[in-house]
C-alpha cells in the first residue's frame, strides 16, 4: 500500500480518524489517532475539529464552533470577546464626553 501523504510504499498503514487517509507511521500521530496533515490544520482553540478559517485578529486557525463570522472574515471566540470589550470601553468613553 502507498501512504496517501508521502506516497511511500509501506506494508502497514494507519487510518486517520478525522479524514480517513491511510498513511505510514511517519505521517501518523498515534497519540491523537490523526495524520500529520490533520494535525497541522486542527483548530488552535479546541484542538479537536479541523479549522475552516484564520482569525482576522490573531491569525490562529479556528473551526466553525470556535469562531464567529464577521463580515467576510472570522474572529476566534477569544478575540471576539476582546473586540467586544474594546467596543464597550470606547462606547462608554464616548458617552461620558457628552
State residue 47's pLDDT score. 94
Coil, helix or strand at residue 77: helix
Distance CA 89, CA 18 (A): 41
Distance CA 95, CA 5 (A): 57
pLDDT one-digit tens code per residue, 2-20: 999 999 999 999 999 999 9
Nearest alpha carbon to residue 43 among 67, 22, 19? 67
Which residues sit opposite 15 in a β-bridge? 22
Report residue 2 as a C-alpha cell. 502507498
Distance CA 8, CA 13 (A): 11
pLDDT one-digit tens code per residue, 47-75: 999 999 999 999 999 999 999 999 999 99
Amino acid at each position: 500500500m502507498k501512504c496517501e501523504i508521502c506516497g511511500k510504499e509501506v506494508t502497514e498503514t494507519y487510518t486517520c480518524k478525522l479524514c480517513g487517509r491511510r498513511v505510514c507511521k511517519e505521517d501518523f500521530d498515534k497519540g491523537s489517532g490523526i495524520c500529520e496533515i490533520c494535525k497541522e490544520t486542527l483548530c488552535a482553540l479546541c484542538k479537536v475539529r479541523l479549522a475552516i478559517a484564520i482569525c482576522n485578529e490573531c491569525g490562529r486557525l479556528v473551526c466553525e464552533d470556535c469562531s464567529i463570522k464577521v463580515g467576510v472574515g472570522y474572529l476566534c471566540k477569544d478575540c471576539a470577546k476582546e473586540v467586544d470589550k474594546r467596543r464597550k470601553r470606547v462606547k462608554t468613553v464616548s458617552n461620558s464626553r457628552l
